[in-house]
Amino acid sequence: MINPVIRPRRLRSTPALRRLASETRVHPAELVLPLFVREGNESTPISSMPGIVQHSIDGARRAVAEAAAAGIGGVMLFGVPAVRDATGTGATDPDGILNAATRAVVAEVGDALVVQTDLCLDEFTDHGHCGVLAADGSVDNDATLLRYNDMALAQAQAGSALLGLSGMMDGQVASVRATLDAAGYADTAVLAYSAKYASAYYGPFREAVQSTLVGDRRTYQLDPANRREGVREARIDIDEGADVVMVKPAGSYLDVLAEVAAMSSVPVWAYQVSGEYAMIEAAAAQGWIDRRRAIEESVLSIRRAGADAILTYWAVELAAWLTETDAR
Ligand code: PBG
């Protein structure tokens, strides 16, 4: 008769043992909710992201108050401007939608949670690229840095505590850090989207910010084939002074995340992006997947791979579930 001496199933045999033996936990404080804010007084649903809307500024205030009450760690604001142009003027206008929304939201919640802003031009340009274009149509790295510097000042002035540099321009962290320091914003922190891949999973985001992209982003975002290069980008950003580095998307890049987490001297975050959200919502709506379990498992896995905090569109709902589970 076979009688195994080593029986790992023992630790799985009761809920109490499983709870005590759990290696990874997600806490509401580690969750960040991305929020879209549009001009005008109406909130508008985003069809490719069921349950997510473009908020009016008032709607955003309410959403952020709700997020603070849920105990999550922060929000990441994205602006949806009514008008776009070649250089993304709306991004640096103090009254542009993102800067106005930031002021309103900070006035609402103070520092009950961390109000963060996306620092990138794609929401504001008419061509949808993350930077300004050179005469030949390519994205001009160094000219874009000047725009990012101005955006950083506008966002810091509006009260953003953490600037999410998501444009993937070379030198963006050093450039923005030097600009902030010279202007007296030494305490405004920089979150570098270091390993940001040229991903199909950003698809629903385009609808969320109503941006149409001319061409693709492969000349600045990373090739999904490259792990080492993702780690290199994180190292460069840490050396340039990033306070936090990020891997994005999350679910398909857990290997990159684990490797960055192993080498990083600063916190490592991950962004569970719009397409990851849409896939689970769509499958759950068909009854093909258990929605709650899939959401919990997907976020737990990102945490297990090494993320210290996670940007997820489910942040508030998940925080409520986590609080329930804790109380059980
Ligand atoms: C850039 C930015 C994007 C996302 C976050 N910041 C879009 C992109 O680079 O194409 C995507 C987030 C998501 O898909 O949920 N402003």
2-56 confidence digits (pLDDT tens):
899 999 999 999 999 999 999 999 999 999 999 999 999 999 999 999 999 999 9
CATH number at residue 74: 3.20.20.70
Q: Is 248 a catalytic residue?
A: yes
Is residue 21 assigned to a domain? no
Is residue 197 assigned to a domain? yes
217 annotated to bind ligand: yes
Burial pattern 205-240, b for ≥16 Cβ within 10 A else e, equals bebbbbbeeeeebeebbbebeebeebbebbbbbbeb
Instruction: Supply the range of the domain harboring residue 217.
Output: 26-327
On the question of a cis peptide bond just before residue 249, with omega within 30 degrees of 0, the verdict is: yes
Determine which residue's CA is closest to atom 8 belonging to ligand 1: 202
Please count the structural domains in the chain. 1
Give the Å distance between the CA of 65 and the centre of ligand 1.
24
Is residue 15 assigned to a domain? no
Average pLDDT, the chain: 96
> Does ipTM exceed 0.90?
yes
Q: What is the C-alpha to C-alpha distance for residues 303 and 310, in angstroms, rounded to an integer?
A: 8
DSSP 253: G
Q: What is the C-alpha to C-alpha distance for residues 237 and 249, in angstroms, rounded to an integer?
A: 18
Q: Which two tokens stand for residue 147?
A: 């725009």
Quickly tell me which residue has 């500024």 as its tokens: 57
CB 51 within 8 A of CB 45: no
pLDDT of residue 326: 59
DSSP 125: B
Report in angstroms the alpha-carbon separations of 325 from 70, 73, 190, 319.
Answer: 14, 18, 33, 10
274 annotated to bind ligand: yes
Q: What is the C-alpha to C-alpha distance for residues 131 and 209, in angstroms, rounded to an integer?
A: 16
Residue to mutate, 77, 166, 207, 269, ligand 1, most ligand atoms under 8 Å from C-beta: 166
pLDDT of residue 212: 85
Give the Å distance between the CA of 204 and the centre of ligand 1.
9
Residue to mutate, 37, 75, 122, ligand 1, most ligand atoms under 8 Å from C-beta: 122
Q: Which two tokens stand for residue 43?
A: 């909130």
Determine which residue's CA is closest to atom 10 belonging to ligand 1: 202
Share of the chain above pLDDT 70, in %: 99
Determine which residue's CA is closest to atom 6 belonging to ligand 1: 166
Is residue 20 assigned to a domain? no
- Which ligand 1 atom minimizes the distance to the CA of 205? 14
CB 303 within 8 A of CB 30: yes
- Which ligand 1 atom minimizes the distance to the CA of 168? 9
Coil/strand/helix, residue 171: coil
Residue 248 β-bridge partners: 196
pLDDT digits (tens, 9 = 90+) for 274-315: 999 999 999 999 999 999 999 999 999 999 999 999 999 999
Residue to mutate, 196, 205, 279, ligand 1, most ligand atoms under 8 Å from C-beta: 205
Q: How far is CA 294 from the centre of its chain?
A: 20
Question: Could you say which of 38, 129, 248, 303 is catalytic?
Answer: 248
List pocket residues of ligand 1, CB cut-off 6 Å.
Answer: 118, 120, 122-123, 166, 202, 205, 273-274
CB 254 within 8 A of CB 295: no
Kindly state the average pLDDT of the residues 186-195: 98
pLDDT digits (tens, 9 = 90+) for 51-93: 999 999 999 999 999 999 999 999 999 999 999 999 999 999 9
Query: Mind giving me the DSSP string for 192-241?
Result: EEEEEB--GGGHHHHHHTT---SS-STTTSBPTT-SHHHHHHHHHHHHTT
Quickly tell me which residue has 């509401």 as its tokens: 28
Determine which residue's CA is closest to atom 14 belonging to ligand 1: 202
DSSP 87: T
Give the Å distance between the CA of 15 and the centre of ligand 1.
39
Residue 325 reports pLDDT greater than 80: no
Kindly state the average pLDDT of the residues 119-138: 96
Kindly state the average pLDDT of the residues 167-172: 98
Give the Å distance between the CA of 131 and the centre of ligand 1.
13
Is residue 232 assigned to a domain? yes
Question: Could you say which of 55, 61, 147, 196 is catalytic?
Answer: 196
206 annotated to bind ligand: yes
Is residue 19 assigned to a domain? no
Is residue 119 assigned to a domain? yes
Is residue 310 assigned to a domain? yes
- Which ligand 1 atom minimizes the distance to the CA of 196? 9
